[in-house]
Amino acid sequence: MQNPLNNPLNKQGKYKLPKRFLRLASIDLDLLKACGIQGIILDLDNTLVSEDDCYLSPGGEDWIKLAQLKGFKFVILSNGKRRYRVKYWSHRLNMPAINPARKPFPFAFYKAKGHMQLKSKQIVVIGDSFHTDVLGAWISGHFCIQVASLPHPPLWWEKILGRWVQTPYPDRDDLWSFDASEYK
């Protein structure tokens, strides 16, 4: 974990928010606090759980629970078409979800911001895809941290453009499995 005190300061003398982390659980919550972050807009697919429901981000759920204990507000923003999955995770993680979010369009980001009752600079978007999460955060005026994509069967366009918009998860051995029968 990074120590905020060792983290470089920006020109305004504030801590810099890193743009990339390998996984959710590597994001230092104290560093987010030191950067003034109080709210997290969270992507679901391939950030916390793989699109095919085979893998979980290691330690991701515990990291979220710890963040909630530390007072961070969360909203899930998911473009996923299977609403039952989003509902399931919204309930399991005890946080609201907006679905379909139609990222990178900014409307769902603004809705999440309104729900959290925070300013844009107090919110960070965390997700795995450049063209939805990073771009949407930029359009809507929020900070963003991109995490590596959990392994998933590539869509046709991801076979061509995937490496430009996502960072593949480096080590499958490190991943936690998930049992999709939990949805029933």
Point out which residues bind Mg ion (CB under 5 A): 43, 45-46, 128-129
Query: How near is the Cβ of 18 to Mg ion at its closest, in Å?
Result: 19
Please state whether 113 falls in left (phi above 0), alpha (psi between -120 and 50) or beta.
Answer: alpha
Provide the token pair at 74.
């969360």
| Shortest distance (Å) from residue 67 CB to Mg ion | 18
Residue matched to tokens 């809507």? 140
Q: Which is nearer to Mg ion, 99 or 129 (CB)?
A: 129
Q: Please report where in the chains the tokens 């039952």 appear, as a residue.
A: 84
Nearer to Mg ion, 15 or 77 (CB): 77
CB 162 to Mg ion: min, Å: 12
Rounded CA separation 7/136 (Å): 26
Which DSSP helix (H) or strand (E) runs through 146?
strand 143-147
DSSP assignment letter at 11: T
- 40: closest CA among 150, 165, 141, 142? 142
Q: Is the Cβ of residue 38 or residue 166 nearer to Mg ion in the bound state?
A: 166
Phi and psi angles of residue 45, each rounded to the nearest 5 degrees, phi first: -70, 125
Q: Which is nearer to Mg ion, 29 or 77 (CB)?
A: 77
* Nearest residue (CB) to Mg ion, 119 versus 157: 157
Write the DSSP symbol of residue 133: I
Residue-wise burial string across 108-123, b where 16 or more C-beta atoms lie within 10 A, e elsewhere: bbeebbebbeeeeebb
Could you tell me which residues are beta bridge partners of residue 177? 55
Tell me the closest approach of the beta carbon of residue 182 to Mg ion, in angstroms.
20
Closer of 46 and 140 to Mg ion (Cβ): 46
Nearest-approach distance from CB 123 to Mg ion, in angstroms: 18
Cβ at position 127, least distance to Mg ion in Å: 5
